[in-house]
Amino acid sequence: MFSELPTPCVLIDMNRLDQNLNVMEQRIQKLGSSLRPHVKTHKVVELARRQVRDFAGGITVSTLAEAEHFAQCGFKDITWALPLPQSQIKRALKLSKSIQLNLLIDHPVTLTFLEEELKSCNQSAFVFLKVDCGYGRAGVLPDSNQALLLAQKMHKSPHIEFSGLLTHAGHSYDCRSKDELKGISKQERNSVLRLASRLRQANIPVPCISIGSTPTMSVVQNLDGIDEVRPGNYVFFDRAQVNIGACQLENIAMSVLSTVIGVYPERKEILIDAGGIALSKDEGPGLSKNKYGLVVDVISQKPLYQCDLHALSQEHGKIKYTSEKPPFNIGDRIRILPNHSCMTAAAHHIFFLVRNNSLEGQWTPMKGW
């Protein structure tokens, strides 16, 4: 089977994928919350459908083009997890005529833009207040006055359905152990609960509290008071997640299949046909070896530590080997576990689905903005 596929290509190990979906589902159900998976990692309708079974059915997206695509494919409750760009307001409101599109705001200026547009077209919009739980990317600080003022403004707005609080602990990606991760997951939850309590004391209802990243949701032990969580990367995982402590190497469900196109014993190097476009140039988590992905055996997916994927051109990858003889011949296939599966997925237009080393089908992700 592996010898028939065109390379480079993305393979999805369906056994690992199923296990990843089950583990996350069971964890979140057991902790009494709902899963609103982030589909940005894969952008595949069939996979999103698997992710939302038994749940409310809502998903999270990273671009408005994704929201439009998933809406066309039947998803009716979509959160666009990016602070609403002013330039996209008209387009977003057009989509929100046919589905429940939940928007994010963390700045009064954007709220004013949105309100003006809603007034002029006599519509209403579902809006979350985006909260910064320590990541420092987007959001209002949970203990700030601005948070209270902005929530109040939304609550009072005749055009806005104030949906609640939303945060994302992206700084969990800096963790290097489960204990560190557990600390961040507590901070993520506590920050929004603290703000929710302030809002409720000020008679501002908070219909939904939404948190979640793959790292924090992989270790979280308490979701009391949390209505929904939004991990995304957990479907595939990757080497960065292993490094964080969110999963094991054996959980990584995505790999890139590649062909050996050169063997150079004089410099103990092998050339493969997967380069920066196929793997992304997201460098490994602080690793000097296998900076651009981990070379594994094509069948067993066991790491080949004598190989070091150390350089990428556009369509060439260079592997140094430490064994006496070259570990591969011209024409051999290898698999590479990606550093960051979201970035690698974004580079491919087909995902080949593999179960027990047989091809089970293929998925087509959506692209663009």
In the complex, minimum distance from the CB of residue 30 to a second copy, in angstroms, rounded to a whole number: 29
Beta carbon nearer to a second copy, 61 or 223: 61
Say how far apart CA 39 and CA 52 lie, in whole Å.
11
In the complex, minimum distance from the CB of residue 340 to a second copy, in angstroms, rounded to a whole number: 8
Binding residues for a second copy, rule CB under 8 A, total 60
Give, as ranges, the residues between 44 and 63 that touch a second copy (CB under 8 A).
62-63
**Interface segment toward a second copy; rule CB under 8 A; list 24-32, 49-57, 219-227, 277-285:** 277-285
**Interface segment toward a second copy; rule CB under 8 A; list 76-84, 149-157, 293-301, 352-360:** 76-84
Per rule CB under 8 A, is residue 266 in the interface with a second copy?
A: yes
Give, as ranges, the residues between 149 and 168 that touch a second copy (CB under 8 A).
none
Phi, psi of 15 (to 5 degrees): -65, -45
Structure tokens at 214: 């793959």
Contact 323, 332 (CB under 8 A): no
Residues 6+ apart with CB under 8 A from 6: none
CA distances from 91 to 61, 88, 138, 163, 195 (A): 15, 5, 22, 20, 31
Give, as ranges, the residues between 329 and 368 that touch a second copy (CB under 8 A).
329-331, 342-343, 346-347, 349-350, 367-368
Give, as ranges, the residues between 25 and 44 that touch a second copy (CB under 8 A).
40
User: For the chain, where are the E strands, in sequence order?
Assistant: 9-13, 34-35, 59-61, 77-83, 100-105, 125-131, 160-167, 208-211, 228-229, 254-264, 269-272, 294-296, 307-312, 317-321, 333-337, 351-355, 358-363
In the complex, minimum distance from the CB of residue 204 to a second copy, in angstroms, rounded to a whole number: 22
Phi, psi of 24 (to 5 degrees): -65, -45
Beta carbon nearer to a second copy, 278 or 304: 278
> Which residue matches tokens 């410099």?
267
Residue 90-129 contact track with a second copy, rule CB under 8 A, x = bound: -x--------------xx-xx--x----------------
Contact 363, 46 (CB under 8 A): yes
Strands 160-167 and 208-211: parallel
> Which residue matches tokens 């530590």?
305
Give, as ranges, the residues between 234 and 263 that touch a second copy (CB under 8 A).
259, 261-263
In the complex, minimum distance from the CB of residue 74 to a second copy, in angstroms, rounded to a whole number: 23
From the list 14, 31, 95, 277, which residue makes contact with a second copy (rule: CB under 8 A)? 277
CA atoms within 13 A on the CB side of 304: 24
DSSP at 182: H
**Interface segment toward a second copy; rule CB under 8 A; list 15-23, 119-127, 246-254, 266-274:** 266-274
The footprint of a second copy (CB under 8 A) covers 3, 6-9, 40, 62-63, 82-88, 91, 106-107, 109-110, 113, 136-138, 141, 170, 259, 261-263, 266-267, 269, 271, 273, 276-278, 280-283, 311, 313-316, 318, 329-331, 342-343, 346-347, 349-350, 367-369
